[in-house]
Amino acid sequence: MEQGNPLQTLLQELEKHHIEVLIYRPMLQQFPIPAALLPNITPFQIPQDLDENVDFMISLGGDGTMLDSITLVQHRNIPILGINFGRLGFLASISREELTHAVEALITGSYVVDKRSLIHVDSNLPIFEGAPFCLNEFAIHKRDTSPMIKIHTYLNTYWADGLVVSTPTGSTGYNMSCNGPILFPESSSFVITPVAPHNLTVRSIVVADSSVISFEVEGRTDQFICAMDARREILDHKIQLAVKKEKFYASLVRLNENSFLSTLRTKLTWGLDRRN
């Protein structure tokens, strides 16, 4: 793949196959598109602009861009293909050098669509309006330099800087950074992991994703941070929160030669020990 404008390169590949293209309007403002490619392009701005005629969404960026793409697709079951222009790339696992190969795979049908479970948050006040769901994790965290907080769940009371509820997909993200276990994507589970717990005997716990997990937060300050993937809000401690499995799934495209284990080996450099 040539260096330069990745969007232009992708559009040229799609034009070869006479594919109609919708482009997120902010991208058109960020990347200049040659006039010759514009007749085949329709901009879109909001999730409601997408309908059943959309066969795929292609994400150019890192894992954060993939997470943004999921908030645009929402319940529409549009498969998302991630081309990695970021760093680690657990979700957007296809390298930029494979862009042409990835487009060919979409045309020929030589790909696999993985269904990934999502977390949904309910509250007595409107939060994360329009997209109260996430692919990786729901997190509660103390604000800045404030003292630790006390988080009550039906399982335990955690004295900690925060608490992470992760899906199997998100188990390789914030959860893993907090020494939580890695789950296979097919696991019908959530993993609950404390962030810097005050009690060293407190560890992660894996629960069935049929569970509804409610929270009450106490602390010396009246506010705390609530995050869903890369989105966050500052909430009052009196708010009532609960998380559960979302009714719909995220559909992620992978090439046939890729697998969860091969991605783990590559991204976490497993097997590179000289003794192996």
Catalytic member of 49, 51, 55, 63: 63
Question: At 130, which amino acid appears?
Answer: G
Q: How many CB atoms lie within 10 A of CB 112?
A: 14
Q: If we measure between CA atoms, which residue out of 196, 204, 117, 111 comes closest to residue 165?
A: 204
Distance CA 127, CA 132 (A): 7
One DSSP character per residue, 12-62 reads HHHHHTT--EEEEHHHHHHS---GGGGGGEEEE-SGGG--TT---EEEEES
Distance CA 118, CA 74 (A): 10
Contact 91/252 with Cβ under 8 angstroms? Answer: yes
63 belongs to the catalytic site: yes
Cα 218 to Cα 107, 229, 239, distances in angstroms: 53, 23, 11
Q: Pairing mode, if any, of strands 149-152 and 133-134? A: unpaired
Say which residue the tokens 């292609």 belong to. Answer: 58
Say which residue the tokens 């979409």 belong to. Answer: 106
For 155-194, letters b (16+ CB in 10 Å) and e give eeebbbbbbbbbbbbbbbbbbbebebeebeeebebbbbbb
Residues involved in catalysis = 63
